[in-house]
Structures are given as C-alpha cells and as structure tokens.
Amino acid sequence: MERNAHFQRLQSGTHGGQPTIRSGLQLNTVSELQKVLLLCDATIQNRLLAKYLQDYGICRAHLAAPSQLNAMMQCENPALVLLDIRSNDRCVADILGNGREQNQRLRTATPMILINVPAGVEMSQFLTRKDIVAGFHDNEPVEQLLSKIRSLLHPEQSRGRRHGEIPSEALTRKEMAVLRALALGLSNDHIADQLSVSPHTVKTHLYNAYRKIGCTNRVAAAMWAQRTLQNAELG
C-alpha cells in the first residue's frame, strides 16, 4: 500500500503512567483507543501498520496469526478485524470459506476488513458475507483503508462527511489557510509565523475548523485538507 508522505508524525509521551497520543487539541491515552485485531504474519510491514494505527490515534491493533482468531476474539473482544489474506497461515482459506461447519465456527459478528487482496482478484466474491464489510487490494492508497476504519470505529465523526465534501458551515479564509499549512506538516508555531498570528490564534482556528469539517484530530484534518482544499484559493 502507498504511503502518504505529507502526514505529520504525532507527538507521543506519557500521562499518568500511560503512553499518550496527541491528536490535534486532544490528549488520549493508548488505553482509550478501540481494539482492532490484525490477523497476519508478523512481518515488518504489518508491525509498522499496527504502530501507524496507534501512533495516529486511530485504534490499538493486536497482531495475531489467523489460526488464533477464535481465541483472540474471546480474550480481546475487538471492535474490528483486519485480515491480511496474503498470510501464509492455512487458516486464511478456512476463514474465507463458505458453507462448511468448520468455516462457520471461524465467523464472528464483528465486522472484518480484508487487506492486501491481490490486484487481480475480484473483491465481490468476498463481500457477499455480512461480516466482511470491505476489502482493499494491495495497490490501493492506505488513506482509503484508514478512512474505512475510522468510519466503522467512529461513525459519529464520519456522519454527514464524504470525500471532497465542503462543510455546511463555511470555513473562513484564515481557517482554510491554517488547514492548508497543516496538510503540509507544519507545526502550530510555524503556521503562526507564516500567518503572522500567535500560536494561540492558530489553535483557535484549528478548533473551529475541526468542528466545521467534522474532524477531531490533526491527522484527519490534514487528510481532509489534502483532499478538499487542493484547488481552493489560499486565504
């Protein structure tokens, strides 16, 4: 999957002994993030994906072999399952199979997303199952996967907001300028210098912009700005 080079890394730290993730104006402990089960081989790429999801405040991803599905469902009770169908675990075929009794035991009511589906494989054959809510080919942008995960784990943030949709309450020119700078990975201090305002004013613009576009953190707002404000006139 492609990487988005414009994403700014979130600052991490500790809060009350718990690791924290700074998302925009919010400070969240890792334990507050919803659990996601990532069924895969323990490759560098999959470990990086799990770290990416946590560092950007999306979810806590627990890696496990596909054959551990039932055991992990009982002990972790995840809100979502990600299945890497390129895993070498033979249980992948059983999880994706239809009809047979042993395959039925591997199904759960928890929604599942398939990842790394080979580009030549038709996705519709998997989406007939109610528990499989989405699938992504191995050549699709990672942003689309992140957007789907957010919509499932945080539907209140995605409601009424679609790709490229302008918010019902218009952004001011300053708010658009701040969002554009945010999409370039600039810090609040750098944005303040660029716009000749104080860092406090930048925070105020960000807070108002988050509310208008339906985002709750810095990365989601940057992604929205990259999609929606590309052709807007710089304020």
Maximum C-alpha span of the chain: 66
- Beta bridge pairs of residue 12: 21
33-158: which CATH topology? Rossmann fold (3.40.50)
Extended strands (E) in 89-206: 112-117, 132-137
User: Looking at residue 27, what is its pLDDT?
Assistant: 39
* Residue 110 contacts residue 79 (beta carbons within 8 Å): yes
The pTM of this model reads: 0.59
Domain ranges of the chain: 33-158, 173-228
User: Looking at residue 78, what is its pLDDT?
Assistant: 93
User: Looking at residue 25, what is its pLDDT?
Assistant: 36
* Residue 166 contacts residue 174 (beta carbons within 8 Å): no
Q: Which of 13-22, 130-139, 182-191, 196-205 comes out lowest in average pLDDT?
A: 13-22
CATH 1.10.10.10 matches 173-228: yes
Rg for the chain, CA atoms, rounded? 20
